[in-house]
Amino acid sequence: NFLFIGSYRDNETDDTHPLTVQLQELKKKDVTIIDINVGCISKDDVNILISDTIRMQRHLTKSLSGIVYKKTGGNALFVSQFLQSLWDEGLLMYLLEYNTWQWDVDAVDTKELIDDVGVLMARKIRQLPIGCQYIIKLLACLGSTCDESILTLFMREGEDLTGGISAKERRWETEHINNFLMLDVAVDEGLLKKEGSNYIFAH
């Protein structure tokens, strides 16, 4: 027996899409195919997610989760990215002296939500150090997954392509390029994942 698990966006595949055609062919051959539609999460689930994330009791996070749900519609990716942006902009803060989280309900409610994943990712990338942006551009040219050794080779070959980077920034980049510290920034920001020696785009 063989079990294959795959995922795709059904709003991007019409009846003529190769994947749709292949699935229809498999069904004609009596291959068992089970479709699991993954939709948005409920308002209660958003509250549970936020409560578990910041480790506060659920009745205390309802004021925050209610706004987050209203803005994201329960889209799990938007929920996580919106929470991250609240933290980045200081709208969601951890108070050490009180050992608790605090947020400004009015400020969170008026915050703009970027509902385009591409725009959201582009904005996050532009906030990274210039050297890190350069390496991510190289990584994007190599596909969604790339081994560290291959990326190192391309970075060496592409050193003369870093036009527009100041001498100071170039020195900073050269000092750190071998140990991939700059890509660690992208990993910390959730843009990349590191699995073994492979770097993988998170979205």
What does the pLDDT average to over 6-17? 82
Return d(Cα 83, Cα 88) in angstroms, integer.
9
Identify which of 151, 159, 166 has the alpha carbon closest to the alpha carbon of residue 199: 151
Q: If 0-12 CB within 10 Å is exposed, 13-18 middle and 19+ buried, where does residue 182 land? A: buried
Confidence tier at 200 by pLDDT (50, 70, 90): confident
Return d(Cα 56, Cα 35) in angstroms, integer.
35
- Helix, strand counts (H, E) of the chain: 10, 5
Return d(Cα 191, Cα 174) in angstroms, integer.
22
Identify which of 55, 71, 57 has the alpha carbon closest to the alpha carbon of residue 105: 71
Domain ranges of the chain: 43-114, 119-201
Would you state the CATH architecture of domain 119-201?
Answer: Orthogonal Bundle (1.10)
Confidence tier at 186 by pLDDT (50, 70, 90): confident
- pLDDT one-digit tens code per residue, 24-68: 898 898 888 888 888 889 999 999 999 999 999 999 999 999 999
- pLDDT one-digit tens code per residue, 124-141: 788 788 878 888 888 888
Three-state secondary-structure class, residue 164: coil
Confidence tier at 176 by pLDDT (50, 70, 90): very low
- Which residue has 């970075």 as its token pair? 155
Question: Following DSSP, what letter does each residue of 10-44 receive, concatenated?
Answer: GGG--TTSHHHHHHHHHHHTT---------PPPHH
Confidence tier at 168 by pLDDT (50, 70, 90): very low
Confidence tier at 163 by pLDDT (50, 70, 90): very low
Confidence tier at 100 by pLDDT (50, 70, 90): very high
